Amino acid sequence: MKSSVTWLFCLGCFLCRVELSAGERPNLIWVMADDLGYGELGCYGQTVIQTPHLDRMASEGLRFTQFYAGATVCAPSRSVLMTGQHHGHTRVRGNAGPKNPLAQALRKEDITVAKVLQTAGYQTVLYGKWGLGDAGFAESGLPRKQGFDQFCGYLNQHHAHNHFPDFLWENETRRGLPNEVVPLGAEGGGYATKAVEYADDLLAEKVVQFVSAPHQKPFFLYWSLVVPHANNERTRELKNGAEVPDFGPYADRDWPEPDKGQAAMVTRMDTLVGRLLETLRTTGQDKNTLVIFTSDNGPHQESNHDLKRFQPSGPFRGIKRSLTEGGIRVPCIAWWPGTVTAHQTSPQVAYFGDWMATAAELAETQTPDGCDSLSLVPTLLGRGEQAQHEFLYWEFHERHFQQAALLAGRWKGLRTSLSGPLELYDLETDISESVDVVARYPDVAAKIANYLNTARSESADWPAK
């Protein structure tokens, strides 16, 4: 493997060529909801919650039907996205929390997609939830040490539970907000007793301001929304973690408040993303900007809302914290008017780690060594041969160690320990993973089991136990 120095030298060799075509390179925007299920958008089958802007985005672009998050929970999924390495190779493999903050932080030697794009001449900005480093605890992972020129939002996910926080981070400075908060826990969690400023609204305004400003070079914008994640502390205290300024079009529904709040959060998110797309249209940047919309993992049930009402996992089994499809298969929409053909549905099997190679190719630079990443540019542009993953891989460290792998986009293998028995599901005929076919297809099962034995690298922070 090349050293980081060698990689940077090779990358530098590309800069002369890159700058000559800088006007042609697209802006790149990655928009990510938090805990939004595959089935919570109208364009993915939702019939109760209103999402007109994202539905229009899908009709104007490409909708993936087999796209996967990097993990089934927050921090490792974001680590996969940033490093282009699958869950068994990436730095952060679980939600460590305050007991071991360094285990949930990127290190100096990690190469993120933001670093790659920054080195290639892109302006790089992050608004929203980070979750891969924290001030005073794990500063090697702070956004501006991982390739971002600007950052505003939440550093750790417990602070991000609170949608009405009393402060947000702006780069490395705490900026106070007028909300008054009952603090719970050591990482900034809590809930507001005086709710004035809704964080996602504030951050959306920053996104619009940034996009509207003149730019001298292409930009990479990572907009990491907090909605529709629950405020877990508010759930425990007030029995309703669906924290939103108002219930919007659901105010008059004969539903419990958590259900009204969950639906309102998703619709509010849809409206905010609609503002971004409209800003791109009105400023004329839509023709030179690729926007990806997705979710960090499957849907939650942490605000006390009724899953049966919304069917957030769509046709799949499981939710967040499950390695079945409902926990890891997520919506993904690609929008680039005039370049990505409208009204497309793609069965291409892809995952968060592919953003690294995709962004690098569009930025006309190199993908770093050691990535588990395939460029999706052929699928997006509709030309060239699309490379395929033989395997995709996930693991899970809460409760007890678990693994999952997907072979050839069809065969799903699950096991609850490194030496445990394998469950095998044929997604081609059984998308709900209801019938274990391990006895019927022993050769397939053996191939997946052999892969699971070697898929992960050893990690002192995240042992398989």
Task: Give the per-residue pLDDT at 189.
Answer: 86
- pLDDT at position 12 is 39
**pLDDT for the residue numbered 18:** 33
Per-residue model confidence as pLDDT tens digits over 314-327: 999 999 999 999 99
Instruction: Report pLDDT for 97.
Output: 76
The answer on pLDDT for 32 being more than 50 is: yes
In the CATH scheme, what is the homologous superfamily, with its name and number, of domain 4-389? Alkaline Phosphatase, subunit A (3.40.720.10)
**Is the pLDDT at 15 greater than 80, yes or no?**
no
Q: Is 149 exposed, middle or buried (0-12, 13-18, 19+ CB in 10 A)?
A: middle
Q: What is the pLDDT of residues 124-135, one digit of tens each?
A: 999 999 999 999
As a whole number, mean pLDDT of residues 78-82 equals 99
Closest CA to 448 of 420, 458, 89: 420
Helix (H) or strand (E) holding 375: none
The rounded percent of the chain whose pLDDT value lies above 70 is 95
Nearest to 131 by CA among 170, 173, 92, 183: 92
Q: Which residues have a Cβ under 8 Å from the Cβ of 359 and sit 6 or more positions away?
A: 28, 113, 116, 117, 220
Q: In a 10 Å sphere around its CB, with 0-12 CB exposed, 13-18 middle and 19+ buried, how is residue 408 labelled?
A: middle
| pLDDT at 1 (0 to 100) | 37
The model carries a pTM of 0.94
For the cut 70, the answer to whether the pLDDT of residue 19 exceeds it is no
Cα atoms found within 13 Å of the Cα of residue 149, Cβ hemisphere only? 14
**Per-residue pLDDT reduced to its tens digit, 167-218:** 999 999 999 999 999 998 767 789 999 999 999 999 999 999 999 999 999 9
E strand or H helix at 391: strand 391-396
Tokens standing for residue 280: 């791109």
Domain(s) labelled CATH 3.40.720.10 in the chain stretch across 4-389
- Does the structure show a pLDDT above 80 at 23? no
CB atoms < 10 A from the CB of 176, how many? 9
Strand partners, 173: 170
CATH of 400-454, one of 2.60.40.420, 3.30.1120.10, 1.20.1740.10, 3.30.420.10: 3.30.1120.10
Q: What is the pLDDT of residues 438-450, one digit of tens each?
A: 999 999 999 999 9
* CB 240, CB 258: distance < 8 Å: yes
Picking from 283-287, 333-337, 339-343, 415-419, which range would have the lowest pLDDT averaged per residue?
Answer: 415-419
What residues does CATH 3.30.1120.10 cover in the chain?
400-454
pLDDT at 267: 98
Distance spanning both ends of the chain, measured CA to CA = 29
Average pLDDT over residues 315-344: 98
Residue owning tokens 């958590």 = 258
Cα separation, 101 vs 262, in Å, equals 30
Q: What is the pLDDT of residue 186?
A: 65
pLDDT tens for each residue of 90-109: 999 999 877 888 999 999 99
In the predicted structure, residue 25 carries a pLDDT above the cut 70: yes
pLDDT in the model for residue 96: 87
Q: What is the pLDDT of residue 365?
A: 98
> Average pLDDT, whole number, for the chain?
94
